[in-house]
Amino acid sequence: MSRFPDVEPVEPMRTRWRLPPPHLADAEGLVAVGADLEPGTLLAAYRTGLFPMPIGRRDVGWWSPDPRGILPLDGLKVSKSLRQSQRKYTVRFDTCFREVMTRCGDPKRPNGWINKAFIEAYERLHRTGWAHSVETFDADGVLVGGLYGVKIDGLFAGESMFSVARDASKVALIGLVEALNRAGTQLLDVQWTTPHLVSLGAIDVSRREYLELLDRAVVASSGNDQ
């Protein structure tokens, strides 16, 4: 059964940074450059509709694209062939988070952006119960696909996925959606849509609509609120 481990996340120390609001994004969706990747900063960003990606070798950019990609949790498209592939794999949660993220950040992959600083930052989030991995294993118990992201209340912010076997990342996504539905999650954020994600049911929404969905999904009671 696809289910997240029953772990209560630990609220980190409040961030010392005040990130600008999403509506100040430029035409590319970039809102700000700087700050840090501490747990409090990351959670404050996600709670206000931002997510980080590196700019160059050292700088962190904070993004709010318009349109924003989401995958409606009642709209996942699963083909007959994908159902057949699903039977070949076993899906697990949070058993090898760092390995999944490292595989997602393989420098040989085109447009790779996940560096060591990001891996260490999200592993800290994972240890405190906020970041999760979904892993796909083949019949020999070999990790062949997976994804990771951040779960805050009714939001799951998907970050990246990888696959080295047919449909392995798609099967991880099926497991994720099943787990999110069981947990009563309301919003699956995929940042930008791609043809791969659109084929699975992802859609674009405006920034305004995304922020309205986010407001309903995230309980704004944390000391990290901006």
Q: What is the pLDDT of residues 61-114, one digit of tens each?
A: 999 999 999 999 999 999 999 999 999 999 999 999 999 999 999 877 766 789
- DSSP labels, 131-155: EEEEEEE-TTS-EEEEEEEEEETTE
Query: Measuring CA to CA, which residue among 148, 168, 164, 158 is closest to residue 86?
Result: 168
> Per residue in 128-148, pLDDT tens?
999 999 999 999 999 999 999
Pairing of β 143-152 and β 155-163: antiparallel
pTM across the whole model = 0.94
Domains of the chain: 68-217 (3.40.630.70)
Query: For residue 137, what are its two tokens?
Result: 């294993």
What local confidence, expressed as pLDDT, does residue 223 receive?
41
